[in-house]
């Protein structure tokens, strides 16, 4: 039987959010090429979600205006906040969702930008470098997704348009 959430928090692109409220749902809506990293530590009940749009901040002249928008800047900030809040690297459950390719800008079957793929690779690389194991992923494809994490259990559901929810 599911616990009724008392609070729903939407994590927008360029943001991350941490909580230990067991009656909270974390949501990221319409994830396309962006990437969402979901983290849950079942022992202390710490969880969080980071929603990032671009893999590399070096493409922008002033990435400091919104570091959470870039995987290379935002994910290390998210990890630092999790560590400060007491995250255990041995108990943590991490999932990566997103990285779709909705449009083809390269002609033929290629995509010159490959933003979604690059987001997923950059996120996994940073997490591995930090010694944080990725438990599951749902990346790629050509459809947007919505992600919901239940802080009571750390359970993650992924919704694609016109399809039933899938547990991750």
For 1-34, what is each residue's pLDDT tens digit? 455 668 999 999 999 999 999 999 999 999 999 9
Kindly report the average pLDDT of the chain as a whole number. Answer: 89
- Return the pLDDT at 42: 94
By mean pLDDT, which of 12-21, 32-41, 104-113, 155-164 is the weakest? 104-113
List Cβ neighbours of 1 (8 Å cut-off, separation of 6 or more).
none
Domains of the chain by start residue, with CATH: 19-167 (3.30.1330.200)
The arrangement of strands across the sheet holding 136-139 comes to: 15-19, 46-52, 35-41, 93-98, 136-139
Q: What is the pLDDT of residues 48-80, one digit of tens each?
A: 999 999 999 887 776 567 888 999 999 999 999
- pLDDT of residue 40 exceeding 70: yes
Residue bearing tokens 């990032």: 52
Give the pair of three-digit tokens for residue 119.
């987001």
pTM of the model: 0.90
- pLDDT of residue 107 exceeding 60: no
């Amino acid at each position: 039987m599911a616990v009724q959430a008392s609070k729903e928090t939407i994590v927008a692109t360029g943001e991350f959010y941490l909580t230990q409220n067991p009656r909270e749902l974390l949501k990221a809506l319409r994830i396309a090429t962006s990437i969402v990293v979901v983290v849950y530590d079942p022992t202390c009940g710490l969880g969080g979600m980071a929603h990032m749009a671009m893999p590399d901040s070096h493409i922008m002249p002033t990435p400091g205006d919104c570091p959470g928008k870039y995987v290379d800047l935002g994910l290390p900030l998210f990890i630092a906040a999790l560590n400060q809040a007491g995250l255990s690297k041995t108990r943590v459950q991490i999932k990566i969702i997103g990285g779709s390719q909705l449009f083809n800008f390269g002609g033929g079957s290629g995509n010159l930008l490959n933003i979604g793929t690059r987001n997923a690779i950059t996120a996994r690389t940073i997490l591995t470098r930090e010694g944080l194991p990725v438990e599951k992923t749902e990346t790629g494809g050509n459809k947007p997704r919505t992600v919901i994490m239940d802080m009571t259990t750390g359970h993650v559901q992924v919704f694609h348009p016109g399809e039933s929810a899938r547990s991750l």
